[in-house]
Amino acid sequence: MGFKRRIANHLADLLAFGMRFGGGDKTYRFFLDALWERYPVSSSAAQNQSLDMKLYCPDYVTPGADDRALVERIFNAFKKASRMQEQADSNYQPSSTWRNVLRMAYAELTESLAEDDLDRFHYFLANFAAWNEGTGIEESRLIRQSADDRSKRRHLQQKVFAPLIQWWLKLESNGRDLSALTIPRHGNMGGMWVNGHLVSPGSVFSEINARLLASFVQTDRPIIGELGGGFGRLFYFLSRHLKEFCYLGFDLPETLCCASYYLIKAFPEKRFLLYGEQDWDSNSLQQFDFLLLPSFEISKLPDNRVDLFINENSLGEVEASACRNYVKEICRSANAFWHRNHESCRFEFEGNATSLVNREYPIPMDKFEAPVRYCDAGPLVRADRLNRDSDMVWYYYRARLSDSRRS
């Protein structure tokens, strides 16, 4: 063992010397990530032998005519939201990071809008969860890259999915089988087949966090708000614990299209209001089960009406002024607020702008108390390796008794 360690140290010295000429810290990190993907998996094979796992990367599908009326409805809402997005205040514009994502991953949507091409728009929605470019709302790019690379595929299976699944089965399943981690596959969802169940990369912690959030909700028909909810995965898991609800989803027009498509197909019996279909106000919260709206509509929320507001990641992906504005609107309209964002690492944007970290969010502590703060366990579970960029911490704030409707 001592001889092997000395050899390893010499090789590391040689590699480190060469890497100094490759671009500094980022090059080191990229190299270490690539090397870790090639880490032998035989040592973990024994503990994973009960899992029958296979990566599933679907081909793009040709959408059928059955969804035509639904897609036209979403397309009309997208037209109106995009037009109004251009006129919205700067605090509601996407950051430079997200502008790049929209330009690359959502080109089909923007070009279909410019060309008034409903078929092209429909094709993207039918395949958004399998898209080759990183959409920021699903790990389809990771799945596609891993499917074409044996080392990445083995790494994803054995060092990412397997630890998560084993951990969930042992500590979080409460006797349930893996069907508890599955979701409808609308949008051509990929993932990992595990013992016959298709599990997407974000399902494990969405299921866990949803049970946590359900415990914070006290009313029979809670009003749940979410900023930047992607295609709706977290709320889908949360809805399993709610008999009735009103869900308010606020997001960019492009990602809102994916959420509208996914959620309407997942909840065909529910009442939906999409942007521009009619004016909405506090009465709409009783008339509809889902209101899916562009982010700039958040300012129309009535005071202290939302029972629980949720945010994962996106407050840390916008510039400081936008974050302050969103937090102000959330705290004005909500009686409880759960968010999961960066504790110390900042996003850097064009013009030397940066994001805020958790301690800088302007939560009015005269209205709220924070009974729970906890480090996100995801990076501790997957891959047996800590990543210093994964500094996600979640906070739960609730209105003080004098300011809330809680009895």
The CA distance from 192 to 161, in Å, is 8
> Is 358 within the bounds of a domain?
yes
C-alpha distances out from residue 102 to 96, 98, 141, 253, 255, Å: 10, 6, 15, 10, 9
pLDDT in tens, 283-320: 999 999 999 999 999 999 999 999 999 999 999 999 99
Percent of the chain topping pLDDT 90: 77
The listed range with the strongest mean pLDDT (40-49, 253-262, 377-386) is: 253-262
**Cβ neighbours of residue 191 closer than 8 Å, sequence gap 6 or more:** 56, 143, 198, 199, 200, 201, 203
Question: Residue 289: inside a domain, yes or no?
Answer: yes
CA 132/CA 244 separation, integer angstroms: 36
**Is 146 within the bounds of a domain?**
no
pLDDT in tens, 57-76: 999 999 989 999 999 999 99
CATH number where 315 lies:
3.40.50.150
Residue 262 makes CB contacts below 8 A (sequence gap 6+) with: 129, 184, 186, 187, 231, 232
Report the pLDDT value the prediction gives residue 315, as an integer from 0 to 100. Answer: 97
The count of domains in the chain is 1
The model carries a pTM of: 0.88
| Residue 209 belongs to a domain | yes
Query: In terms of residue numbers, what domain contains 224?
Result: 203-403
Residue 320 lies in a domain: yes
Please name the residues in contact with 319: beta carbons below 8 A apart, sequence gap of 6 or more.
95, 349, 353, 354, 355
Ranges of beta strands (E only) in 20-70 are 53-56
Please give the mean pLDDT across all residues of the chain. 90
Confidence of residue 39 (pLDDT cuts 50, 70, 90): low
Q: How many helices (H) and strands (E) does the chain have?
A: 16, 11
Least confident of 80-84, 182-186, 399-403: 399-403
